[in-house]
Amino acid sequence: MLLVDHVPLRLARVWLHREKVEHEAAAQFHRLGGEMRAAGLPRRIIDLADAAAADEAEHAILCRRVVDHLAPGLAPLVPDPVGPLGPVGLSAGRRALYASVALACVTETFSTALLLEMQRLATDPLVGATVHRILRDEINHSRLGWGHLAWAVEREDVSWLALFLVGMVHALIRSDLPPASYDDETAPADQPGEGQGVLSAARIRDVATRAFEDVIAPGLARYGIVARSGA
């Protein structure tokens, strides 16, 4: 009985964390749009970054609705401050490209893959509608990074990004993936939650691995970016 009572709160806390991550993503895409302007990117790509910032802010509102649906009254978490991504000393163009690859090619591609799985498993109508809406936007957010990369590779060698690929993935695993699952790794595998958009840790590992091996790694390799051992 105690477990049943705690389940909605545990699920709501996952969505609560997603609400925070969405706010942070909005700030990151807003920053990316500014970096793209500084780097003189085509307006069509900048527009997509600006649109992504607005989308992410909307996603935070959608996540809040799910939080209130599952466990009303949980106070929002305070988003972490957003700073420039990547190592110091990058040119404006490389700074923007690093951020696009980290945010869009890596993070948004992982997110799209996870949302596809959440959509497949969702049974709660509000959760299903929310996941569907966010998924639609995340596809465009991911494309913006791949589009930026395709545009950049026509103008310069982008293989320098290979040095940072492992770090990008590790940062994602540390910051963004945990909120997608139960925070308690000891939770039983058949614990309810996937119908409410909260995947098991094992399923997340499986989907994330497939996303990296089938999409991100070959996508980056297409542009000469191959993860280097020990990077």
Q: How far is the CB of 75 from other proteins (least distance, A)?
A: 31
Q: Which is nearer to other proteins, 30 or 143 (CB)?
A: 143
Minimum distance from CB of 217 to other proteins (Å)? Answer: 10
Region at 71 (left for phi over 0; alpha for psi -120 to 50; beta for the rest) = beta
Q: Give residue 63's identity as a one-letter amino acid code.
A: C
Of the pair 11, 115, the CB lying nearest other proteins is at: 115
Give the residue with the Cβ less far from other proteins, 80 or 213: 213
Residues 6+ apart with CB under 8 A from 112: 135, 138, 139, 142, 211
Query: Phi then psi for 181, rounded to 5 degrees?
Result: -125, 180
Dihedral sign from CA coordinates of 161, 44, 56, 129: negative
Least separation, in Å, of the C-beta of 146 and other proteins? 3
Q: Is 62:21 a contact under the CB 8 Å cutoff?
A: no
Instruction: Find the shortest distance in angstroms from Cβ 178 to other proteins.
Output: 21
Q: Which residues bind other proteins (CB under 8 A)?
A: 36-37, 40-48, 50-51, 109, 112-113, 116-117, 136, 139-140, 142-151, 154, 207, 210-211, 214-215, 218-219, 222
Residue with Cβ nearer other proteins (48 or 70): 48
Query: In whole angstroms, what separates CA 113 from the centre of its chain?
Result: 10
